[in-house]
Amino acid sequence: MCDYSLHTVSSRDAKIDDVLVSCRFPGTETRGFSTKDDPLTAVCLRPGTELAFEGDVRIKGFFFRRKVGAHLARFRQVDTNKPTEHHDALEFSNGRIVKVTDLATGQRARVLQMPADPTTKRTGTPVTIELRATQL
C-alpha cells in the first residue's frame, strides 16, 4: 500500500525481485520506496510483502541515525484506527516495527516474496481422492 500522504505522487505496485530504494518524494515529507531508475514513482507494497535490505537498516534520529539490528522485514500496516497517522510499517526479523516514513533515505532492499493475491480465482478442477484401508 502507499500511505495516504503519497496520493499526489505517481505509484505502481511492487514486483518480486524489485530493488527498492528508501526515499523522500518531492513536495512531501513522507518517505517511501522507489526504484533507482524511477525515483519519482512510489512503489507500493501489500501487507505481507517480504524485503531483504542490503545492510543493517537505519532509521532517522533527531541528531543521528540509529540501526534497527536486522535486515529482513515484512511489510504491514499499523495505527489504522488513526486516519491522519502514517500506516505503512516494516516488521523486522528481530520483532521491531518501524514506520516506513522513519527510514533513513538511500537504503536498498530487494522484494523477496509477495503475499497471495486474494482476488485471484482458482482455475483448477477439484480432485477427489478415494482412500482404501487394507489389512496387513
> Cα Rg for the chain, rounded, in angstroms?
19
pLDDT for 1: 59
Q: Give CA 90 to chain center in angstroms.
A: 6
Indicate whether 96 belongs to any domain: yes
Indicate whether 130 belongs to any domain: no
Indicate whether 99 belongs to any domain: yes
Tell me if residue 11 falls in helix, strand or coil. strand
Give the total number of structural domains in the chain. 1
Give average pLDDT by consecutive 10-residue segment, the chain, 136 residues.
Answer: 67 95 88 93 94 93 79 93 88 94 95 82 67 65
Q: Partners of 13 in the beta sheet? A: 44
Rounded to an integer, what distance in angstroms lies between the CA atom of residue 25 and that of residue 109? Answer: 17
Q: Specify the pTM.
A: 0.79
Indicate whether 131 belongs to any domain: no
Indicate whether 93 belongs to any domain: yes
Indicate whether 125 belongs to any domain: no
pLDDT for 45: 94
